[in-house]
Amino acid sequence: MQKIKLTIAYDGTDFHGFQAQTRRDATIRTVQSVLEESLERVTGHPVPVTGAGRTDAGVHAKAQVVTFESAGAVPVERWPRVLNHRLPRDVVVISARSVPPSFHPRYDAVAKVYRYTIDTAPVPDIFTRRFCTHFTEALDVERMQQAARYLIGKHDFTSFSAARAQVSNRIRTLRKVDVWTDGTYVHFLYEGNGFLQHMVRILTGTLVEVGITERQPDDIPHILKAKDRREAGRTMPPEGLTLWKVKYS
C-alpha cells in the first residue's frame, strides 16, 4: 500500500461541509463522501479519506489536503486526471504525491491559513458572489487592522469559538492576522497553528463590529480575557470563508 496526499480545491456552496455524515437514511453531500465515491469507482473498493481540516457547510477550500491508501494500480501523478474526470465540477484535485505511511494530514500540519472575504459593493458581483459575504455597511479598515494586532500571538480563544465546541484546550497561536482592501473587497487572512470551531467566522465578525465602530480596537484584549463566547462579535456567514492553505514542515 502507498499513502497518497492530494491537494484539492472546492466550492463549498452546495456541500454540507467537508466531513462525511450519516443522517438516518439520507445521503448528505459532503466533500469527503464525493471524493470517497470517486475513489471507490476507480478502485472498485471503499477508500476512506482523511482531511487536514473539517470545513463547515458552505465553506470553500483553495488548497485542502487529504490522504488515502492506494494499492498502487494508478501511478501517483495520474491521480489528479483520473479523479477530475469523475468528480463533480465543484471539487477539483490540484496535485497528488506519495507520502510516508506515517504522514497524517491533520496532525502533521504546522499551520493553516484561512481567508475571509467581504464584498462591500452596493450590489454583489455575480462572478465572485459564491465566495464572498455581501456586507454594505461602511468598514473602517484601519480600525480593524488595529484590533487585529491584539489577536496575534498565543491566546486562549474560548471567546472566539462556538460555545458548544467539545474541546478541552482552547489555546491557539495566531501568527498572522491581515486585513486589507482590494477594490470593493475587504480580505481577512489568518494564519495559525490550529483553529477552533467557527473561530475564523467569529474573529471576522468581531473585527467587523470594530470596523463599523460598534466596538473599539482595544476591546479585543478584554474579550480574550473573558473566555466567554458572549463577549465576542457575531459569527459571520460561511460563504466568505476559504481554507487557503495547509502548511507542513
Nearer to a second copy, 32 or 159 (CB): 32
DSSP per-residue string spanning 124-184: --TTTGGGSEE--S---HHHHHHHHHHHSEEEE-GGGS-TT---S--EEEEEEEEEEEETT
The answer to whether 23 and 11 are in contact (CB under 8 A) is no
Among 38-46, 68-76, 127-135, 140-148, the segment contacting a second copy (CB under 8 A): 127-135
Nearest to 112 by CA among 190, 32, 14: 190
Of 95 and 181, nearer to a second copy (C-beta) is 95
Q: Which listed residue (11, 56, 90, 182) is catalytic?
A: 56
Question: What CA–CA distances, in Å, run from 154 to 128, 139, 158, 201, 212?
Answer: 34, 27, 12, 19, 27
Q: Is 92 in the site for a second copy (CB under 8 A)?
A: yes
Size of residue set near a second copy by CB under 8 A: 23
Residue 154 CB, nearest approach to a second copy (Å) = 33
Site for a second copy in 52-91 (CB under 8 A): 60, 62, 80, 84, 89-91
Of 5, 6, 10, 33, which lies in the binding site for a second copy, with binding defined by CB under 8 A? Answer: 10
Which is nearer to a second copy, 196 or 236 (by Cβ)? 236
Four-point Cα dihedral 126, 129, 135, 136, nearest 10: -10
Residue from 3, 106, 129, 247 binding a second copy (CB under 8 A): 129
Q: Which residues pair with 86 in a beta bridge?
A: none
We find the least distance from the C-beta atom of residue 52 to a second copy, in angstroms, to be 17
- Which cell numbers hold the place of 10? 472546492
The number of helices, as runs of H, and strands, as runs of E, in the chain is 5, 12
Who contacts 79 (Cβ-Cβ below 8 Å, separation ≥6)? 4, 6, 70, 93, 96
Residue 116 is assigned to a ligand binding site: no
d(CA 161, CA 171): 11
9 in contact with a second copy (CB under 8 A): yes
Q: Which is nearer to a second copy, 82 or 162 (CB)?
A: 82
Taking the complex as a whole, the smallest distance from the CB of residue 77 to a second copy amounts, in Å, to 11
Q: What letter does residue 219 receive in the DSSP assignment?
A: G
Task: Kindly state whether residue 131 participates in binding a second copy, applying the rule CB under 8 A.
Answer: yes
Active site residue 125: no
Binding site per annotation, positions: 114
Binding site per annotation, positions for substrate: 114
Residues that bind a second copy (CB under 8 A): 9-11, 60, 62, 80, 84, 89-95, 123-131
Q: Which residues does the annotation mark as catalytic? A: 56
